[in-house]
Amino acid sequence: MRTLYFDCFAGASGNMILGALIAAGVDSDDLKAELQKMDIPDFELELEIVDRSGIASTHVTVRVPKERGHRHLSDIEKIISGSALSETVKTRSTAIFRRLAEAEGKVHGISVEKVHFREVGGMDAIIDVVGSCIGFEMLRIENFACSKIHLGSGFVEMSHGKFPVPPPAVAELLRGVPVYSTEVEGEPITPTGAAIISTLCDSYGSIPEMLVEDTAYGAGTRTYEKFPNALRILIGETAGEQTSTVSEQLILLQTNIDDASPQILGFVMERAFELGANDCWFTPIQMKKNRPATMLSVLCSEEKKHQITELIYRETTSLGVREQRLLRDALARQVIQVSTEYGSIDVKIGMLDGKIVNAMPEYDQVQEAAREHGVPFSKVRDAALAIVNVSRFAATK
């Protein structure tokens, strides 16, 4: 799987991400041509190779006409959805801005629809976000991971006054993300950078096992003495066999329902999995007035949250959905194919330190083979597991 790893030793911003992608091979003319598919004013991308404590880094400045007023989320979504950009770029870009709106809304105590985007709603910020998503697509990035994020220290001046680093919106965006602070003053991680990374990344920590094909640096605007203010990205193929666990940031969506048909709930579960949910389950509960009810729980990535929330509202009688961000530690997983006397069966295995510690044959394939050969389900399942167990024993010798 083609993976991009954000190494945020100096934080990250929208133009740092854009600069790193251009340094990694995204053609700036092709990038500009794609950005022009949006109905936006004329703009320029000024590129410069700069020195950041001895590291040659690409600095990007987005030049746009002076703007008046502020945009709402709906304004930005209209710009993106009405463009001729690819669906992948539209989906990623919209998810990033919606995450920004949700963070700002929570900080200010208002609904997402009422959020006024200031700096992050400017045309330069839109170009940073959408341009980054275009760059990801041009580089064929399928998977995103990130280091712990450097927050910096001190205070930052904002439109509402002077706030400690990280400012409130950034702190909200980084809930569930591992961070650290040093004596370096300033705001290394900006709202735009935090939104892009926290929306797209599923795991945080050390560099995953990967065959590195390219490294590139995107420069921040500030310069520090003996500290490289740059974002490093590593791009390559993730190794097929992982040797450690992976930390994933997931979202748990829950709602209590006491007036919906079981048929509707069953349909919602099927659609949730079709939309890409990691898991979905029902819990019997007792609600007010002694009504038997069902708690619907869906576990999903940030990227899928909006679609699944919309599914719940459209298909059930729910008037509200609870949201909780979770950091899940999971075994590295892969699917292997084993040959049994009943045919080939896919087996999902969990790996720890290079060894198989868990295995489960694919249910549908086991069921089909059992019916075809007229044998019990357990016989086919055990035949597949026996081969995996032999492989596990051989690997330990």
Q: Which pLDDT belongs to residue 158?
A: 65
In the structure, what pLDDT confidence band is assigned to residue 243 with cuts at 50, 70 and 90? very low
> Both 197 and 58 in a single domain?
yes
In the structure, what pLDDT confidence band is assigned to residue 354 with cuts at 50, 70 and 90? low
Residue 29: count of CB within 10 angstroms of its CB? 8
- Inform me whether the pLDDT recorded for 18 exceeds 90: yes
> In the predicted model, what is the mean pLDDT of residues 298-319?
93
> Both 325 and 343 in a single domain?
no
- Inform me whether the pLDDT recorded for 15 exceeds 90: yes
Lowest mean pLDDT among 17-26, 126-135, 147-156: 147-156
Closest by CA position to 212, among listed 230, 240, 239, 248: 239
Question: What backbone phi and psi angles, to 5 degrees, belong to 183?
Answer: -75, -10
What mean pLDDT, rounded, does the chain reach?
Answer: 89
> Both 68 and 126 in a single domain?
yes
Q: Which pLDDT belongs to residue 11?
A: 95
Domain boundary among 210, 238, 266: 238
> Both 125 and 228 in a single domain?
yes
- Inform me whether the pLDDT recorded for 109 exceeds 90: no
pTM score, whole prediction = 0.64
> Both 56 and 147 in a single domain?
yes
Domain boundary among 221, 238, 255: 238
CATH of the domain at 265: 3.30.70.1380
User: In sequence order, what DSSP letters do the residues of 62-119 get, joined into one string?
Assistant: EE-----S-B-HHHHHHHHHTS---HHHHHHHHHHHHHHHHHHHHHHT--GGG--BSG
Tokens representing 9 are 């030793």
Mapped onto helix, strand or coil, the DSSP state of residue 341 is coil
Q: Which pLDDT belongs to residue 394?
A: 45
DSSP state of 172: H
Q: Which pLDDT belongs to residue 381?
A: 94
Q: Each residue of 153-184: pLDDT tens digit?
A: 988 776 666 778 888 889 999 988 999 999 88
Q: Which pLDDT belongs to residue 139?
A: 96
Q: How far apart are CA 56 and CA 47, in angstroms?
A: 13
Question: What's the total number of domains in the chain?
Answer: 3
User: Quick one: what percent of the chain has pLDDT higher than 70?
Assistant: 93
- Inform me whether the pLDDT recorded for 359 exceeds 50: yes
- Inform me whether the pLDDT recorded for 55 exceeds 90: yes
- Inform me whether the pLDDT recorded for 241 exceeds 50: no
> Both 230 and 99 in a single domain?
yes
Q: Which residues pair with 112 in a beta bridge?
A: none
Q: Which pLDDT belongs to residue 244?
A: 54
Q: How far apart are CA 326 and CA 247, in angstroms?
A: 10
Domain residues for the domain of 102 are: 2-238
Domain boundary among 238, 256, 279: 238
Q: Which residues pair with 215 in a beta bridge?
A: 234
Q: Which residues pair with 325 in a beta bridge?
A: 251
> Both 163 and 206 in a single domain?
yes
